[in-house]
Amino acid sequence: MATLLEIIDLVKTYDRQPAVDGVSFAIEAGRCFGLLGPNGAGKTTTIEVIEDVIKPDSGQIRFDGQPRDAGFHDQVGIQFQSTTLLGFLTVRETLQTFRDLFIRGADIDHLVTLCHLEDFQHQYNDRISGGQRQRFLLALALINDPRLLFLDEPSTGLDPQARRNLWELINNIKTEGKTIVLTTHYMEEAQRLCDEVAIMDCGKIIAQGTPQELIRKHTAGITVSLPRKALTEATAAIGQPYRQGGDRVEFRTRDANSCLSDLLAAGVDLADVAVRTPNLETVFLNLTGRKLRE
């Protein structure tokens, strides 16, 4: 698959402090690429440089194999975290207003269907719910039928049901061949939506790969937890390392089936067993630390 966006040794400094320090990555067409990181990691600055909102100090940004030119903006859609909408326009009127700004654009009826706006397309912008607003903003980001779509924290503030509806919508957009760059603080969101993820910290990319690759490389494996009272004298002989914490015992393993089989063979009661599979959040915390950052 061809590379649509390539970032080469990108640098941006503020007051002699590097916000982005030699960042490089490439995104294939039709893929969803997640850029993750704690507050102050440099991901927002990286995205704003790529979007041409701010200028880099050095580095290259290549779109479809060429340096960005004046036509780059016509092929890019952006959904910002916060957008002010005119309250005296309806959802459909706003879509039409933005559509008229472009020579080439998407069909409004198609966007209404794709983003599930049918039930409120004639409502005024200030009369729609949070979930409806996010789907509407996504439609606005698609109004010029872009090849490359930037989604900045698209599900912030949504309830779990609205968030999952938005995830389904984003997956539908992927099936239309759009290339997506996603920033999010929800690790489950990144794991569900992204084909590839880069984790940033202190202005650098510290890990990159598919979610499953990162999980395999940067986590200790599966945790099997059960009450301490369920252990038997034979447990020590099964060869499974474990640690005690409170009233439960945790076994770390790469093979949950083998661990559970060994426990059963040792006569351990598994009625209250819990199996936790590592995920992208585990990777994120292991790589960036568990202390709160301002």
What's the full length of the chain, in residues? 294
The rounded distance, in Å, linking the Cα atoms of 44 and 138 is 19
User: Where are the domains positioned within the chain?
Assistant: 31-37+72-216, 220-277
pLDDT of residue 234: 57
In contact, 12 and 56? CB cutoff 8 Å: yes
User: 31-37+72-216 and 220-277 share one CATH topology?
Assistant: no
pLDDT in tens, the chain (294 residues): 799 999 999 999 998 899 999 999 999 999 999 999 998 899 999 999 999 999 999 999 999 999 999 889 999 999 987 777 888 899 999 999 999 998 888 999 999 999 999 999 999 998 999 889 999 999 999 999 999 999 998 888 888 998 999 999 999 999 999 999 999 989 999 999 999 999 999 999 999 999 999 998 998 788 888 888 877 655 655 666 777 777 888 888 888 888 888 888 888 888 888 888 889 999 998 898 755 445
Strand order in the sheet with 17-28: 17-28, 3-14, 58-63, 66-67
CA dihedral 211, 197, 284, 35 (to 10 degrees): -160
pLDDT of residue 292: 44
**Under CATH, domain 220-277 is a member of which superfamily?**
YebC, transcriptional regulation domain (3.30.70.980)
Q: Rg (Cα) of the chain, in Å, rounded? A: 23
Locate 75 and state its tokens: 């092929």
**Under CATH, domain 31-37+72-216 is a member of which superfamily?**
P-loop containing nucleotide triphosphate hydrolases (3.40.50.300)
Which residues lie below 8 Å from residue 202, measured CB to CB, with a gap of 6+? Answer: 21, 41, 42
Q: Where are the beta strands (DSSP E) in the chain?
A: 3-14, 17-28, 32-36, 58-63, 66-67, 76-79, 148-152, 179-183, 196-201, 204-209, 222-227, 242-245, 248-253, 274-276
In contact, 24 and 8? CB cutoff 8 Å: yes
pLDDT of residue 290: 57
pLDDT of residue 30: 95
